[in-house]
Amino acid sequence: MQEFAPDAIVVGAGLAGLVATYEATRAGKKVLVLDQENRANLGGQAHWSLGGLFFVDTPEQRRMGIKDSVELAWQDWQGSAAFDRIGEGDGLERGEDHWGSRWARAYVDFAAGEKRDYLRGLGLKSLTFVGWAERGDGSASGHGNSVPRFHLTWGTGPEVVRIFREPVEEAERAGLVRFAFRHQVDELLVEDGVDGSACVGVRGTVLAPDDARTRGQASSRDVVGPFDVRAAAVVVSSGGIGHNFAMMRANWPTERVGPAPEHMIAGVPAHVDGRMLGITETAGASLVNRDRMWAYVEGIHNWDPVWPDHAIRILPGPSSMWFDADGHRLTGMSGVPGADSIGSMKQVLATGADYSWFVLTQSIIEKEFALSGSEQNPDWTDKDIRMMLKERLGKGATSPVEAFKEHGEDFVVAADLDELVAGMNKIARGGRVLDAALLRRQIEDRDRQIDNAYCKDAQVMAIHNGRKDRTGKIMRVAKPHRILDPAHGPLIAVRLNILSRKTLGGIETDLDSQVVRPDGSAIPGLYAAGEVAGFGGGGVHGYNALEGTFLGGCIFSGRAAGRAIARA
Ligand SMILES: Cc1cc2nc3c(=O)[nH]c(=O)nc-3n(C[C@H](O)[C@H](O)[C@H](O)COP(=O)(O)OP(=O)(O)OC[C@H]3O[C@@H](n4cnc5c(N)ncnc54)[C@H](O)[C@@H]3O)c2cc1C
């Protein structure tokens, strides 16, 4: 490392760090990339991701008959973000949303414009169908996507990583990039110069080699020795706080959503530890919107875990019936699976429990259960068309979903409702007992709305709505049927746990990804990008995300950091 004199140091070799490195090296800058994990983890969380990307008004949407526009997307973004901390001016009187709201406008323009060509230019291709994530809270001005915008990457997360990893590896061979794995940063070096204080490098700990660990496994923190290294610019791209439950609980928005869950499972690997947030704050950075996080309510324990407490998120279609821990059906649009994450979370936590239930049929699981994660979708990840046709259009649910049905501790399968509820009571937590009669009455009430053309049930209306576009009809939404119709059985119940995932607040940055101090001034030499920066500005999403916006946020903010370094 000594003989390599970098222009910039990137802390964290996830997607945001790779993008910043790619952009800086394109301008001939020399970049040292540090990561606490081994080389097998290159790409960080993005490798595990489904590779869903938020684009606006694309040829893929138009081919599916979806009419979208930047105006509609901006309306949706503002309704979802509900920025209420904007404040006035740029200095001390600016609010926590000051930069996040500006990033939001720029990001929606990017997603409706340059983003697609930028990524396609690097070799990324989308699948031909577009998913409808976060359909919203039922109001035109409020949260949610008015139209499907979730574009799946052919090759999922590993492909999103590949298009940046390969040029960065090329730059490594050309001598412009040096990777230092198992290097954990513990301090940002800030020194006074002629123009005031500036970030001039990092100090940290070299961790013992742990090459035997495969990607995603928790690694040792055994120390080999110290290191420090200097450069004119440092980019912090260290990810969020999703595997640091203590930090999540300390910042949990109890007043807004209810008490922090006692039992939580981890949607992200152990390296998503949030340590760099405190380290960057100590160096003078402003941290904002710490109470905003994007945890999900549809978590299941991975029966074949890679990291500790490994959770998988179900990406549900709209038809499963959703009950709280006491057996009362969730209401309104947030009772429709996949429509309104935070609204559902509020209803789940309002019972004082930290779990809820899906009740569904075999027909629904076959059409509507997708699992988030590259490894849970081997057909798309391996770009295997034959496997895709077999998995998605053949009989039964996909093999990973069937494996969960067979081995997952959260699944109950039964021939009738009484047997199902008995099975649910065996895995209910906290001594709660479900009443089969209460469930039966609500299911029968809902089932009567299936044949009713005038239907007053919000969820059944959402099911019909979900079958309007071709993706919904062909791939995503089961033909409406009665839950208690044995022809669609067996019955299935899934205990849904709360899983951690994304961090929506973080290090405050300006539109160049330069880190801002509490007084509003930029810290020379210090940048932050990706999840650690709330995906830009310290909170580009506000309170709610429209989905597929996280990878894109890493790309947009990493690009801004890399380009700013290139200009310096
Ligand atoms: C299963 C799953 C599915 C997902 N699906 C989607 C999706 O479909 N669409 C979407 O938009 N988003 C999705 N996401 C979210 C998205 O993948 C992440 O938000 C994003 O990849 C975060 O990237 P990052 O570069 O900011 O951080 P990370 O990927 O977390 O990388 C940070 C890196 O920094 C290193 N690091 C941390 N601290 C230090 C330190 N002190 N010293 C040295 N190194 C350090 C870590 O080891 C890590 O390698 C998904 C995430 C997961 C886990």
Ligand 1 centre distance from Cα of residue 341 (Å): 20
d(CA 237, CA 68): 32
Indicate if ligand 1 lies below 6 Å from the C-beta of 52: yes
Tell me: pLDDT of 194 over 80: no
pLDDT of residue 476: 87
Nearest alpha carbon, ligand 1 atom 33: 12
| Mean pLDDT across 62-83 | 96
> Partners of 354 in the beta sheet?
none
| Mean pLDDT across 332-359 | 97
Cis peptide before 490 (omega within 30 of 0): yes
Higher pLDDT, 553 or 1: 553
Ligand 1 nearest-atom number relative to CA 267? 53
Tell me: pLDDT of 118 over 90: yes
- Judge contact between 233 and 568, C-beta under 8 A: yes
pLDDT, tens digit, 9 for 90 and up, residues 406-462: 999 999 999 999 999 999 999 999 999 999 999 999 999 999 999 888 899 999 999
pLDDT, tens digit, 9 for 90 and up, residues 384-395: 999 999 998 888
| Mean pLDDT across 281-299 | 98
Ligand 1 centre distance from Cα of residue 45 (Å): 4
Higher pLDDT, 472 or 195: 472
Ligand 1 centre distance from Cα of residue 548 (Å): 13
pLDDT of residue 452: 87
- For residue 142, give the nearest of 336, 322, 334 by alpha carbon: 334
d(CA 54, CA 44): 20
Nearest alpha carbon, ligand 1 atom 13: 49
Per-residue tokens: 417: 């409702």
Indicate if ligand 1 lies below 6 Å from the C-beta of 496: no
- For residue 439, give the nearest of 351, 353, 360, 327 by alpha carbon: 327
d(CA 16, CA 421): 45
Render 235-295 in DSSP notation, one character per residue.
EE----STT-HHHHHHH--HHHH-SPPSSEEESS-TT---HHHHHHHHTT--EE-TT-EEE
Order of strands across the sheet with 31-35? 177-181, 31-35, 8-11, 233-236, 522-528, 514-516
pLDDT of residue 114: 98
Indicate if ligand 1 lies below 6 Å from the C-beta of 46: yes
Ligand 1 nearest-atom number relative to CA 50? 8
Helix %, strand %, coil % for the chain, to 5? 35, 25, 40
| Mean pLDDT across 458-470 | 89
Indicate if ligand 1 lies below 6 Å from the C-beta of 19: no
Render 14-70 in DSSP notation, one character per residue.
BHHHHHHHHHHHHTT--EEEEESS-GGGTBGGGGGS--EEE-SS-HHHHHTT----H
Ligand 1 centre distance from Cα of residue 254 (Å): 25
Nearest alpha carbon, ligand 1 atom 21: 46
- pLDDT band of residue 466 (cuts 50, 70, 90) is confident
- Whose tokens are 């983003």? That residue is 115
End-to-end CA distance of the chain: 23
d(CA 423, CA 112): 48
Tell me: pLDDT of 119 over 90: yes
Per-residue tokens: 190: 């800030």
pLDDT, tens digit, 9 for 90 and up, residues 508-547: 999 999 999 999 999 999 999 999 999 999 999 999 999 9
pLDDT, tens digit, 9 for 90 and up, residues 306-334: 999 999 999 999 999 999 999 999 999 99
Ligand 1 centre distance from Cα of residue 282 (Å): 22
User: Which amino acid, 18?
Assistant: L
Tell me: pLDDT of 553 over 80: yes
pTM, to two decimals: 0.97
d(CA 189, CA 201): 5
**Backbone angles phi and psi of 55, in degrees to 5:** -125, 160
| Mean pLDDT across 23-30 | 98
Ligand 1 centre distance from Cα of residue 551 (Å): 9
* Helix axes of 114-121 and 549-567: crossing angle, nearest 10 degrees: 80
Q: What percent of the chain has pLDDT over 70?
A: 100
Tell me which of 280, 551, 559 to substitute to probe ligand 1's pocket, judged by most ligand atoms within 8 Å of the beta carbon. 551
Q: What percent of the chain has pLDDT over 90?
A: 93
Largest Cα separation within the chain, whole Å, is: 78
CA atoms within 13 A on the CB side of 109: 6
Render 92-156 in DSSP notation, one character per residue.
TTB-TTHHHHHHHHHHHHHHHTHHHHHHHHTT--EEEEEE-----SS-SSSSS-SS--EEEETTH
d(CA 289, CA 240): 13
Indicate if ligand 1 lies below 6 Å from the C-beta of 267: yes
Ligand 1 nearest-atom number relative to CA 183? 43
Please provide the average confidence, as pLDDT, over all residues in the chain: 96
- Whose tokens are 């429709």? That residue is 336
Tell me which of 38, 49, 132, 377 to substitute to probe ligand 1's pocket, judged by most ligand atoms within 8 Å of the beta carbon. 49
Indicate if ligand 1 lies below 6 Å from the C-beta of 51: yes
Nearest alpha carbon, ligand 1 atom 15: 550
Indicate if ligand 1 lies below 6 Å from the C-beta of 205: no
Tell me: pLDDT of 371 over 80: yes
Indicate if ligand 1 lies below 6 Å from the C-beta of 280: no
Tell me which of 10, 18, 45, 149 to substitute to probe ligand 1's pocket, judged by most ligand atoms within 8 Å of the beta carbon. 45
**Backbone angles phi and psi of 550, in degrees to 5:** -85, -50
- For residue 56, give the nearest of 104, 121, 122 by alpha carbon: 104
| Mean pLDDT across 163-183 | 98
- For residue 460, give the nearest of 479, 485, 488 by alpha carbon: 479
- pLDDT band of residue 3 (cuts 50, 70, 90) is confident
Domain ranges of the chain: 296-499
**Backbone angles phi and psi of 374, in degrees to 5:** -60, -40
pLDDT of residue 2: 60
- Whose tokens are 């009567």? That residue is 448
Tell me which of 241, 550, 555, 556 to substitute to probe ligand 1's pocket, judged by most ligand atoms within 8 Å of the beta carbon. 550
Tell me: pLDDT of 1 over 80: no
Ligand 1 nearest-atom number relative to CA 502? 19
- For residue 410, give the nearest of 485, 314, 337 by alpha carbon: 314
